[in-house]
């Protein structure tokens, strides 16, 4: 291990941390929207089969295959060149895939709230949508956050696959440096350290959010 060299490339690779974080955060936000739409579709018999098909496809296809189909395959099918930058295409592909996982997390989180909550709200004259917004969803969020956080951690690491379609993020920057200097072990170790740092910081933020929600709902219950 060449520690001086590792210290030298550490900030060079770190320059691409914002690219990785931007892709991950944007993909997660889009995935939440996708999952919310799919969750609504699950409650309608006419669209439930379509949601199930979507989940089957995007949970079944490997991420690399989704990237290649979305970035290379669709333009070829449409007989045109790709109209969007590779970074945007990768972000959308990640969002579509993670949305298929989040919709199941949302479903199980909402299902974990006692049905009596809905019945009580309806008995008090509240509409079904209002009961969900004011009573069920706020309680479900506490249950949803831990598995959704695990999904985000996985998504953050999967941004490394975006290099396969030409996006230079942390892994891409490391691969270019390793190819130039043939210091594969040292460079990829630095890449791994950067991912550990990002995930550690996110884990701390998630714990703070969980404590805040637990304190808030605890006070409301009291």
Q: Is the pLDDT of residue 219 over 60?
A: no
Structure-token pair, residue 22: 């931007």
The overall pTM is greater than 0.75: yes
Q: In this predicted structure, what is the pLDDT of residue 222? A: 44
Q: In this predicted structure, what is the pLDDT of residue 220? A: 53
Q: In this predicted structure, what is the pLDDT of residue 202? A: 94
Q: In this predicted structure, what is the pLDDT of residue 115? A: 75
Q: Is the pLDDT of residue 33 over 80?
A: yes
Q: In this predicted structure, what is the pLDDT of residue 15? A: 93
What residues contact 24, with CB distance under 8 A and at least 6 apart? 94, 152, 155, 156, 159
Q: In this predicted structure, what is the pLDDT of residue 32? A: 94
Q: Is the pLDDT of residue 147 over 80?
A: yes
Residue range 67-102, pLDDT digits in tens: 999 888 888 887 677 678 889 999 999 999 999 999
Residue-wise DSSP of 169-207: SHHHHHHHHHHHH--HHHHHHHHHHHHHHHHHHHHHHHH
Q: Is the pLDDT of residue 60 over 90?
A: yes
Residue range 105-140, pLDDT digits in tens: 988 888 877 777 777 777 777 777 777 777 777 778
Residue among 152, 146, 58, 134 nearest 109 (CA): 146
Q: Is the pLDDT of residue 19 over 80?
A: yes
- Count other C-beta atoms under 10 Å from residue 89's C-beta: 22
Residue among 69, 5, 23 nearest 169 (CA): 23
Least confident of 28-32, 161-165, 202-206, 218-222: 218-222
Residue among 218, 144, 178, 128 nearest 2 (CA): 178
Residue range 153-199, pLDDT digits in tens: 999 999 999 998 888 899 989 988 888 888 889 999 999 999 999 99
Least confident of 12-16, 72-76, 175-179, 215-219: 215-219
């Amino acid at each position: 291990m060449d520690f001086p060299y590792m210290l030298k490339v550490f900030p060079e690779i770190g320059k691409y941390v914002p690219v990785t974080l931007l892709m991950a955060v944007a993909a997660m936000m889009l995935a939440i929207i996708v999952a919310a739409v799919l969750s609504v579709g699950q409650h309608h018999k006419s669209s439930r089969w379509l949601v199930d098909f979507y989940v089957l496809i995007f949970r079944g296809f490997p991420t690399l295959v989704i990237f290649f189909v979305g970035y290379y395959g669709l333009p070829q099918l449409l007989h045109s060149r790709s109209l969007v930058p590779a970074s945007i295409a990768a972000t959308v592909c990640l969002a579509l895939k993670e949305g298929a996982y989040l919709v199941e997390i949302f479903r199980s989180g909402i299902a974990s709230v006692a049905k009596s909550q809905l019945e009580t709200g309806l008995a008090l004259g509240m509409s079904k949508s209002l009961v969900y917004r004011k009573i069920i969803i706020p309680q479900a969020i506490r249950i949803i956050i831990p598995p959704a956080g695990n999904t985000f951690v996985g998504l953050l690491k999967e941004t490394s696959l975006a290099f396969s379609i030409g996006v230079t993020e942390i892994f891409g920057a490391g691969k270019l440096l390793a190819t130039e200097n043939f210091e594969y072990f040292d460079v990829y170790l630095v890449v791994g350290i950067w991912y550990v740092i990002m995930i550690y910081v996110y884990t701390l933020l998630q714990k703070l959010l969980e404590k805040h929600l637990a304190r808030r709902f605890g006070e409301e219950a009291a």
